[in-house]
């Protein structure tokens, strides 16, 4: 299973490219969000890190979200493929966001002194009431 996930991740990275610059942003930040707010949630992301840690999260257009790891969080977009987040357990940055609801795949890296630095590979779950 892990080999399949790594294979898919590499394919996504090759197809989508790096796209980290803010000057000519080729990424629609809202393309991976899971609804306007928690009440209108349409999906969530089921993720695995390189250490095989599994978690789910949803982020909403109103700047809030929920993660099975950190509970409720708030975020603010800080660049083309970047956001800063805050939860009761800590804060940090999410960088190198790649993917969308349309593709069903999302990757990102979390950088946090409080929660650690990890990269995640996620797949879209359109039945969020089943898990969160």
pLDDT at position 129, please? 65
What confidence category does residue 9 fall into, taking pLDDT thresholds of 50, 70 and 90? very low
pLDDT at position 72, please? 97
Q: Pairing mode, if any, of strands 44-49 and 82-87?
A: unpaired
pTM of the model: 0.79
Q: CATH top-level class for 2-130?
A: mainly beta
Q: Is the pLDDT of residue 100 over 50?
A: yes
* Neighbour tally for 94: CB within 10 Å: 20
Is 108 within 8 Å of 31 (Cβ atoms)?
no
Kindly state the tokens that stand for 4.
């399949």
pLDDT at position 127, please? 84
Q: Longest Cα pair distance anywhere in the chain, in angstroms?
A: 40
Is 37 within 8 Å of 64 (Cβ atoms)?
yes
pLDDT at position 24, please? 85
Tokens 């890190």 label which residue?
49
Q: How far is 93 from 20, CA to CA, in rounded Å?
A: 14
Mean pLDDT, the chain, rounded, equals 85
What confidence category does residue 76 fall into, taking pLDDT thresholds of 50, 70 and 90? very high
pLDDT tens figures, 45-67:
999 999 999 999 999 999 999 99
Q: Dump the DSSP string for 18-53.
A: ----STT----GGGG---SSGGG---EEEEEETT--
Q: Where are the domains of the chain?
A: 2-130
């Amino acid at each position: 299973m892990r080999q399949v996930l790594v294979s898919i991740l590499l394919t996504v990275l090759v197809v989508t490219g790096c796209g980290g610059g803010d000057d000519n942003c080729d990424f629609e930040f809202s393309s991976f969000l899971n609804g306007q707010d928690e009440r209108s949630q349409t999906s969530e992301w089921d993720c695995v890190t390189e250490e095989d840690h599994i978690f789910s999260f949803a982020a909403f257009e109103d700047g809030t979200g929920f993660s099975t790891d950190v509970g409720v969080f708030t975020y603010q977009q800080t660049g083309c493929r970047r956001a800063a987040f805050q939860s009761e357990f800590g804060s940090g940055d999410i960088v190198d966001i790649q993917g969308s609801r349309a593709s069903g795949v999302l990757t990102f890296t979390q950088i946090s002194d409080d929660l650690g630095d990890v990269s995640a590979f996620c797949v879209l779950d359109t039945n969020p009431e089943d898990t969160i």
